C-alpha cells in the first residue's frame, strides 16, 4: 500500500527583476509517483533535474506551484499549521551537505535535541537521555554532545544529521544525496548506517542520488527525472537491465565498469530528439517510460 503519493507535482520559480520579466523556470513539470510502505524508492537524474526540488516540495520546505502530495492518506499541501507540525514528526530529511546543514554555533547535543524541544517532547533530562541514545545509535560517542560541528569530520557530521532526522521517530525519511559530499572512504560507512537504521526502525525511504551504483545497490524501484519531467519508472533490476528511455540509457551507459576488461558501450542522448510532451506509458509490467 502506498505511504506517499505524489500527483502532478509542478514547481515554477520566478525569474527576472522588477524592470524585466522572464518566463518562469519550471523545475518540476507534472511529476507523479508513489512509494509503498517499507520501500526504498530511488529518484535519479543529473544536477538540475529537479530531484531536490521534489523532496523540498514533498515536505513543504518550499511550496509547489500545483499538484498533490498525500502521506498516509493525508493531504500534505492542504494541511494547516498544526496539521503540518504533526506531519513533520513523521516525515524527515537528511540533507546533502553535512557542513551547511548543521548550525556551527550549536553543540552536537543541542542540534540533535532541537527537534525534541521544538515539539515539546519529554523533560529536559529525558531529552538529554534520548540524545545520548541517538548518538550511540548512529555510531558516535555520546560524550561528543559537547563538541561543535567544526570539531567533527564530514562523515561524523552526517551521522549527527541522521541522528537529528530520526529523533522524532519518523516513518518516512528522505535521504537527499546523503553521501555525495563525503570522501569515498566514508561513503560506504554512512550508507550502511542508513540501511541498518531503515531496517531497525522500519523506515520508508526516498533515496535521491546521481550515483547510479548506489541506487542499484539499495533501491527497490527507481524514477528518472530529466529537466523536471519524469521519463522512466521501474523496478531497479528492470531499469538497469532494460532501460527504455534514451536519457536513462545514456545515464546507465555512463556508469564506470567494474570489470577493466569490459569496454563500456555508451549511449548517445540527443535532447533535440526527445518529445517534451511524451507521457509515461507502461512498456512492460511495472515499467513505465515516456517514449
Domain boundaries, the chain: 2-37+45-78+211-289
Answer yes or no: are the C-beta atoms of 137 and 129 closer than 8 Å.
Answer: no
pTM: 0.91
Q: Is the pLDDT of residue 31 over 70?
A: yes
Confidence band (pLDDT; 50, 70, 90) for 27? very high
Strands 74-75 and 91-94: unpaired
Angle at CA of residue 63, ends 51 and 22, nearest 5°: 80
For the stretch 186-223, pLDDT in tens is 889 999 999 999 999 999 999 999 889 999 999 999 99
The CA distance from 140 to 120, in Å, is 25
The CA distance from 7 to 68, in Å, is 5
- The predicted model gives 129-137 an average pLDDT of 97
Q: For residue 289, what are the contacts with CB-CB under 8 A and spacing of at least 6?
A: 231, 232, 233, 234, 244, 245, 248, 280, 281, 283
Please report the pLDDT score of residue 262 as a whole number: 52
Which CATH number is 2-37+45-78+211-289's, of 3.40.50.300, 3.90.1280.10, 3.40.50.720, 3.40.50.1100?
Answer: 3.40.50.300
Is the dihedral angle over the CA atoms 190, 196, 202, 206 positive or is it negative?
positive
Please report the pLDDT score of residue 258 as a whole number: 61
% the chain with pLDDT above 90:
78
Bridge partners (DSSP) of residue 205 are 40, 173
Please report the pLDDT score of residue 226 as a whole number: 94
The CA distance from 268 to 247, in Å, is 9
% the chain with pLDDT above 70:
95
Amino acid at each position: 500500500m502506498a505511504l506517499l503519493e505524489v500527483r502532478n507535482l509542478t514547481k515554477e520559480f520566478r525569474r527576472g527583476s522588477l524592470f524585466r520579466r522572464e518566463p518562469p523556470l519550471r523545475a518540476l513539470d507534472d511529476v507523479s509517483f508513489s512509494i509503498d510502505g517499507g520501500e526504498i524508492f530511488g529518484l535519479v537524474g543529473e544536477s538540475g533535474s529537479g530531484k531536490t526540488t521534489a523532496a523540498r516540495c514533498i515536505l513543504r520546505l518550499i511550496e509547489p506551484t500545483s499538484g498533490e502530495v498525500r502521506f498516509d492518506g493525508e493531504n500534505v499541501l492542504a494541511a494547516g499549521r498544526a496539521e503540518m507540525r504533526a506531519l513533520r514528526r513523521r516525515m524527515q530529511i537528511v540533507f546533502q551537505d553535512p557542513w551547511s546543514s548543521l548550525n556551527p554555533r550549536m553543540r552536537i547535543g543541542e542540534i540533535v535535541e532541537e527537534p525534541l524541544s521544538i515539539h515539546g517532547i519529554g523533560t529536559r533530562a529525558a531529552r538529554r537521555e534520548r540524545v545520548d541514545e541517538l548518538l550511540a545509535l548512529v555510531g558516535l560517542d555520546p560524550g561528543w554532545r559537547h563538541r561543535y560541528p567544526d570539531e567533527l569530520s564530514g562523515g561524523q557530521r552526517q551521522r549527527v544529521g541522521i541522528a537529528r532526522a530520526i529523533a522524532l521517530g519518523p516513518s518516512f525519511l528522505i535521504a537527499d544525496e546523503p553521501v555525495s559530499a563525503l570522501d569515498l572512504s566514508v561513503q560506504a560507512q554512512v550508507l550502511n548506517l542508513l540501511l541498518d537504521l531503515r531496517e531497525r526502525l522500519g523506515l520508508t525511504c526516498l533515496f535521491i542520488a546521481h550515483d547510479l551504483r548506489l541506487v542499484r545497490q539499495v533501491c527497490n524501484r527507481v524514477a528518472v527525472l530529466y529537466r523536471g519531467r519524469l521519463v522512466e519508472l521501474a523496478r531497479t533490476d528492470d531499469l538497469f537491465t532494460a532501460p527504455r528511455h534514451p536519457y536513462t540509457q545514456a545515464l546507465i551507459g555512463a556508469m564506470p565498469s567494474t570489470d577493466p576488461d569490459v569496454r563500456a558501450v555508451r549511449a548517445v542522448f540527443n535532447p533535440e530528439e526527445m518529445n517534451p510532451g511524451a507521457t509515461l506509458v507502461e512498456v512492460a509490467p511495472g515499467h513505465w517510460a515516456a517514449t
